Amino acid sequence: MNIFETRMNELYGLVKYHASLYYDKDSPEISDAEYDALVRELNQLEKDYPQYARKDFLTHNVGGSPSNLFAKVEHSTPMLSLDNVFTPDELSAFFERIDAEGFVCEMKIDGLAVSLVYEDGIFVRGATRGNGRVGEDVTENLRLVDAVPKKLIDAPSGIVEVRGEVLMTSERFNAVNALRESRGEKLFANPRNAAAGTLRQSEKNNHVIAERGLDIFLYYLVDAEKFGVTTQAGALTWLSEHGLPVQEAYKVCNTLDDVKDFISRWQEERFTLGYATDGVVVKINNLTRWPEIKATSHAPRWAVAFKYPPEEARTRITDIIISVGRTGVLTPVAILEPVRLAGTQVSRAGLHNADEIARKDIRRGDIVRVRKAAEIIPEIIEADKDSRTGNEEIFTMPEKCPICGSLIVRLPHETAYRCPNRASCPAQLTESLKYFASRDGMNIKGIGKKLAEKLTASGKINSLSDIYTLTADDWLELDKIAMKSAENILSQLEDSKSRPFANLITALGIPEVGKNTAALITEHFGNIDALMNADEESLAEIDGVGTVIAHSVHEFFRNEGNLRMIEAFRKMGFVLENETTGKSTELEGKTFVFTGTLETMTRDEAGERVKALGGKVSGSVSSKTDYVVAGEKAGSKLRKAESLGVKILTENEFLSMTGGN
């Protein structure tokens, strides 16, 4: 066996191993760029030495194997992958090979490919790509994804099949990993694997799907010509007009230079999108030419993906500090000499836990390679051991909490170290305050990170309920703020007492309980007394809760300090039961789209106002949109609304329509 055959056999093993981790287990050990490099090397060797190539190897197929957790679905037409190019020369070769004019450039979303089938406008089936020909039936799980339309707008009769990517936004990815870190669980490697791992839950655990908040973008209309659609740009418009979410970052390009300009423009601008992308997909715009150009067994010839190079940098670790989270988890954090990466200045990188630091042998003073995982979270890839001088310091976890001095503990089933002093550890109280005041909790906008830290440091509070006992003078003394600001915080605190029961339960920060779980348990029990008196068995019987969450909720309400806090809330007049009034239908049948920055509320809050009045919220503008609410720096959605003649509202007009501020 010569060196080329030996290397090919080695690569076959490596690619098979890492593809299984990526596609089947949603738990990669190497980056996308490293995996791409292995595949490219193998493909080149197969081209140079075809006599040693394995014709039936998985690199000639698509994706992974369908899981046994789900029924198998055979796709009506194969769900193919895309060939990748990495340089301008390779892109030029693609253009020369297909000899076409007119292209559509779309950002390449780092998500999980799925197919959605609608019958007479009603969502009836959803499947993953699987191996391209047979996927997994994840219909019921996709029904739990709010962004998946359950009914199309003005749908044609018969079958409509569309394809796209289920994804997790950067904001949700950070929140999910923060929660997993607080529980001592292994973090998701990137948003793609977080989305895939979330969607591919068994029926027993699929309650986490709504909790984690997945999104979706569609980009492919199967059998488009039967709907009178003959271009890819037309297909994207058709999808949007029928209520299917389409990403705005796409453009029709006429020439190779236009395509290169689009790729160049979005290399930096993609970091503003709010979701992970790793390249640009270039497709021939004329759909009628696709059958003529054909496809290989795993990829179409009429499209290609230009992959951006991974962004990495070298810098030095100046220190490793400990951060204490809301649930007491101690997380090592590397302090870096500032370096620019993926569009932002990076000066810190999470090190996850002591085991990870030991595995990578990372020390204070090391020169390290750092990147942003999926363009979001700074992470240290490895230390440059050759550059060590001998002055670097090996890191060890402290024996005591650096904030309150309590002896730290490590439970047998956890990788995390914890400070057990939940009652009076200032760091935990600070994080709990921030969470309590957050939008999903009590929505007290005046209390952010800095003010929460000052509240804890002042010694004026020992419990979440204590913030409601502070006077205007206390706030003035605390933050040296103007009387008007102090009065504003007091007003927000008073307003927060009227927040729905489910928001209060969310705000308490009960381990394992987010806003969706809080909604489930408050809907089931109806009031705080019934919830506090519930046993674990009755909690676990709630659909979407389970034994782990049930134990956490039950234990929370056995704690004397927590019970005293609930009683304080009761005396202050908090809402401790579900409202029984009927839902308003003033905006029933009306579809709203929000664009730009609103002054008095977030777009999510504005959307909740619409839903409370019976209306619907869409992420894209179409001829079926009733109103577009335009805030500051409104972009392409506003321009599209103007071109379609959709009614445009200012924020004040929207507030007047929905009952004032």
Q: List, in order of start, the domains of the chain with CATH numbers.
A: 3-60 (1.10.287.610), 72-175+189-307 (3.30.470.30), 312-417 (2.40.50.140), 426-568 (1.10.150.20), 591-657 (3.40.50.10190)
pLDDT, mean of residues 121-126? 94
Could you tell me which of 535, 506, 542 has the C-alpha nearest to residue 521? 542
Residue of 55 and 290 predicted with greater confidence: 290
Residue 555 structure tokens: 């234990």
**For residue 611, which amino acid is it?**
K
How many CB atoms neighbour CB 476 within 10 A? Answer: 15
Instruction: Quote the CA–CA distance of 176 and 610 in Å, as a whole number.
Output: 27
pLDDT, mean of residues 85-90? 91
pLDDT, mean of residues 531-544? 88
| % of the chain residues with pLDDT over 90 | 39
Q: What is the pLDDT of residues 388-417, one digit of tens each?
A: 999 999 999 999 999 888 888 886 666 778
- pLDDT band for position 220 (cuts 50, 70, 90): very high
Among the ranges 86-95, 455-464, 582-591, which has the highest mean pLDDT value? 86-95
Residue 3 structure tokens: 């060196």
Instruction: Tell me: pLDDT of 326 over 50.
Output: yes
Backbone angles phi, psi at 153, to 5 degrees: -85, 130
Q: Which residues are bridge partners to 594 per DSSP?
A: 629
Q: In what order do the strands lie in the sheet with 250-253?
A: 84-85, 303-307, 277-284, 103-109, 250-253
pLDDT, mean of residues 276-287? 93
Instruction: Tell me: pLDDT of 334 over 90.
Output: yes
Instruction: Tell me: pLDDT of 61 over 70.
Output: no
Residue 130 structure tokens: 């699987």
pLDDT, mean of residues 111-117? 94
> What's the whole-number average pLDDT of the chain?
85
pLDDT of residue 577: 92
- pLDDT band for position 624 (cuts 50, 70, 90): confident
Residue of 517 and 59 predicted with greater confidence: 517
pLDDT of residue 423: 62
| % of the chain residues with pLDDT over 70 | 91
Instruction: Tell me: pLDDT of 25 over 70.
Output: no
Residue 348 structure tokens: 């810190």
pLDDT of residue 28: 65
pLDDT of residue 59: 47
Instruction: Tell me: pLDDT of 340 over 90.
Output: no
Residue of 512 and 488 predicted with greater confidence: 488
Is 651 in contact with 620 (CB distance < 8 Å)?
no
Instruction: Quote the CA–CA distance of 265 and 310 in Å, as a whole number.
Output: 16
Q: Is the dihedral of CA 337, 341, 345, 350 positive or negative?
A: negative
Instruction: Quote the CA–CA distance of 259 and 251 in Å, as a whole number.
Output: 9
- pLDDT band for position 581 (cuts 50, 70, 90): very low
Q: In this predicted structure, which of 28-42, 208-222, 419-433, 537-551 has the lowest mean pLDDT?
A: 28-42
Say which of 16, 25, 55, 108 is annotated catalytic: 108
pLDDT of residue 60: 47
Helix (H) or strand (E) holding 476: helix 472-479
Residue 582 CA, distance from chain mean position: 33
Backbone angles phi, psi at 553, to 5 degrees: -65, -45
Residue 615 structure tokens: 């209306």
Instruction: Quote the CA–CA distance of 301 and 98 in Å, as a whole number.
Output: 8
Whether 108 is catalytic is yes
Residue 656 structure tokens: 């007047």
Instruction: Quote the CA–CA distance of 130 and 21 in Å, as a whole number.
Output: 14
Instruction: Tell me: pLDDT of 475 over 60.
Output: yes
Instruction: Quote the CA–CA distance of 193 and 132 in Å, as a whole number.
Output: 18
Taking the whole predicted model, whether its pTM rises above 0.75 is answered as no
